[in-house]
A and B are shown apart, each in its own frame.
Chain A
Amino acid sequence: MTPEVWHRRALWQFLPLAAGFLVLVAISAGSVLLVYKSRDDSAAVVHTIEVENQTNALLLEIRRAESSARGYLLTSAQDFLGDHQEAVAAIHPELDKLEWLTQDNPVQRENVRKLRSAIEMRLSQFAREMDSVKAGNPTAAAELVREAAAGNTTATIRDIANEMLTEENRLFAMRSASAEHSQWLASTVTIAGSALVIVLAGISMVLLRRSARARDEAEAMLRDANLNLEATVDERTADLREANDEIQRFAYIVSHDLRSPLVNIMGFTSELEELRHDIFKRIASLGRAVASAQAPVVSIETEPVLEGVDLKLSQEFSEALGFIKSSIAKMDRLISAILNLTREGRRQFEPVPIDMRQLIESIVATLAHQAAEADATVDIGNLPNLVSDRLALEQIFSNLIDNAIKYLRPGVPGEISVKGRTKLGFAIFEVSDNGRGIDQKDHQRIFDLFRRAGTQDKPGQGIGLAHVRALVRRLGGTMSVASELNSGSTFTITLPLKWNATNRKQDA
């Protein structure tokens, strides 16, 4: 599956969740708004009822004042007078309260204004009636009552109040409807939102399950792939090991069998040499015999001397034999080198804790003679200790130090240093010198078998560095060279601090 598909799938999974979350937020916000609205609506309804109550209370007080006034007129009893005065005193506060309550409604305000003037008029009538009664003139008072009845003030008050009540009823109906609507809206929004959330959750769950299944499948595939990979790696490793063993065997057999004819060639060349000696001795004595025919053959002890053409022949013979012998010697050295390399390749490493300083010091001590002859000093710095194969390390460092001593610049005292440090489980060693250096183009070549670089004025087979690198690799390390012609070389070797025997034993 491509990453793009994964990405898209993740997006699809994320969308319903995001949508669900948004819906939840919307529902919450809507609910809060609607709750506020319905609270306002309820408050409005309550307000309407309050206004109605207040209107009724006012009317009640006016009726009370009226009936007690009438009672007082009829009986002149002080009880009625007290009652009347109490009712009249209550009328004004009730009216003020009503006015305060109806501030929000211009229609009602107008009504209240009319009501107030009607009530003021009625109150003044009351006052006059009371005054007449108190003055002991009930007839005048009755007259005033009649007059008031004719003025229809009470009816006016009642009409206005009724109008107000009607208005409030209308408002009440309207506000109730509005509150109901708000509640309906709130429940609808909640239900619809919840349903949407459930649907989205369902979709999300389906997608999640699908992706989980895809993941399980991918995991199973990965597991299979890993198993296959392991099997493949094992197979390849076995193949490589076999190939390597084959090469080792091949190199061993070839070099071994090449030596056999070489023994013959060398042996019979030496025989030829012996023969040459005899032949030319004979030629010399024969030549002399011919030259002085009378003279008897001289005693064998005196060595006959060759002359002219014979001498030249003898020299050429010797030269030819010399070339053959030196070539055979060289070939023998090469074959021995290959044999040694294959033998090294088959040797099993034995990791032991190694004091590197001690190891390098002992190598330097062995090479002290050569160093003194080459006017070279070896400086040993701090060296980390290893757990590795002692013999391999000895070969690596003695080769490098030996090379450093061997390839110094003529006339320049040699300064060779061996330094070390650790880094991430590896030890890094540097063997540097101020010698003749190696040309950039030869940096790879010097590690090849039988290849050498620079002036060929020192004895050697071109095996040392090839061997060193093979050993370093077998020890699980790497090596490299940094050098410039005429300014010294630095060989850097990185080796694991702890050589893992279990891993490598199968390879050996």
Chain B
Amino acid sequence: MTTPVTIIMIEDDEGHARLIERNIRRSGVNNEIIPFSNGTDALNYLFGRDGSGAGHRGQAFLILLDLNLPDTTGIEILRQLKENKYLKSAPVVVLTTTDDSQEIKRCYELGCNVYITKPVNYESFANAIRQLGLFFSVIQVPPATI
């Protein structure tokens, strides 16, 4: 039995959030998207009230993460996600404006699955999101171990 993947989008820039959402939809992905405009709200949702992350056991997430957030950094969120035994299996797609090699390296070291530089060029952006859509459709999120 597979549960549909819920997309968690952590992005403070409303415009970016809207563009990402539109392009996801345009590429034919109809999964539920839950947007968060800051890191604290997102972490509260994901980790639950007790902070253990056990609340979403058995639920499949795909996390779209922006690195520049007003209250915390995406890197910090990534670290916390990958340290949690319930959430560490959820794929994380880092979306950010820079292509700084140090930052990319850091994200992959922490366990990010895909790193996408937000392109200014709309065509390539749409293309990236579309490929991401394909990626969404084929991923099999294993149920979180109890």
Which B residues touch A271, using CB under 8 A? 19, 22
Which A residues touch B68, using CB under 8 A? 256, 260
A254-303 interface (Cβ within 8 A of B): 256, 259-264, 266-271
Which A residues touch B122, using CB under 8 A? 266-267, 269-270
Which A residues touch B15, using CB under 8 A? 261, 263-264, 267-268
Rounded to whole angstroms, the CA-CA distance of A53 and B100 in the bound complex is: 128
**A329:B13 contact, CB within 8 angstroms:** no
Which A residues touch B123, using CB under 8 A? 270
* Count of interface residues, chain A, beta-carbon cutoff 8 Å: 18
Is A473 engaged at the interface, CB distance under 8 Å to the other chain? no
Q: Classify chain B: how many residues form its interface, as a range.
A: 10 to 19
**B97:A256 contact, CB within 8 angstroms:** yes
Given contacts A269-B122, A329-B121, contact A264 B98 (CB under 8 A): no
**B19:A268 contact, CB within 8 angstroms:** yes
Chain B residue nearest in CB terms to A258: B97
Is A343 engaged at the interface, CB distance under 8 Å to the other chain? yes
- Cross-chain contact of B118 among A263, A269, A270, A329 (Cβ < 8 A): A263
Chain A CB within 10 A, most for which of B13, B97, B121, B123: B97
0 or 1 for each of B86-101: is its CB under 8 Å from A? (1 = yes): 0000000000011010
Which B residues touch A332, using CB under 8 A? 120-121
Which A residues touch B57, using CB under 8 A? none
Chain B residue nearest in CB terms to A331: B120
Q: Separation in Å of the B70 CB from the closest CB of chain A?
A: 12
Q: Separation in Å of the A278 CB from the closest CB of chain B?
A: 13
Q: Separation in Å of the A463 CB from the closest CB of chain B?
A: 17
B114-146 interface (Cβ within 8 A of A): 118-123, 125-126
Which B residues touch A329, using CB under 8 A? 120-121
Q: Separation in Å of the B25 CB from the closest CB of chain A?
A: 13
Rounded to whole angstroms, the CA-CA distance of A211 and B16 in the bound complex is: 80
Is A359 engaged at the interface, CB distance under 8 Å to the other chain? no
Given contacts A256-B97, A268-B19, A339-B98, contact A262 B120 (CB under 8 A): yes
Which B residues touch A470, using CB under 8 A? none
Rounded to whole angstroms, the CA-CA distance of A43 and B119 in the bound complex is: 124
**B100:A343 contact, CB within 8 angstroms:** yes
Chain A CB within 10 A, most for which of B13, B22, B68, B98: B98
Is A142 engaged at the interface, CB distance under 8 Å to the other chain? no
Which B residues touch A270, using CB under 8 A? 122-123, 126
Q: Separation in Å of the A262 CB from the closest CB of chain B?
A: 5
**A259:B125 contact, CB within 8 angstroms:** no
Q: Separation in Å of the B59 CB from the closest CB of chain A?
A: 30
0 or 1 for each of B5-20: is its CB under 8 Å from A? (1 = yes): 0000000010110010
Is A328 engaged at the interface, CB distance under 8 Å to the other chain? yes
- Cross-chain contact of B120 among A256, A328, A339, A343 (Cβ < 8 A): A328
Which B residues touch A256, using CB under 8 A? 68, 97-98
Residue ranges of B at the interface with A (Cβ–Cβ < 8 Å): 13, 15-16, 19, 22, 68, 97-98, 100, 118-123, 125-126
Given contacts A256-B68, A328-B120, A329-B120, 7 further A-B contacts (CB under 8 A): A256-B98, A259-B98, A260-B68, A263-B120, A264-B16, A271-B19, A329-B121
Closest 4 CB pairs of A and B: A270-B122, A264-B15, A267-B19, A259-B97
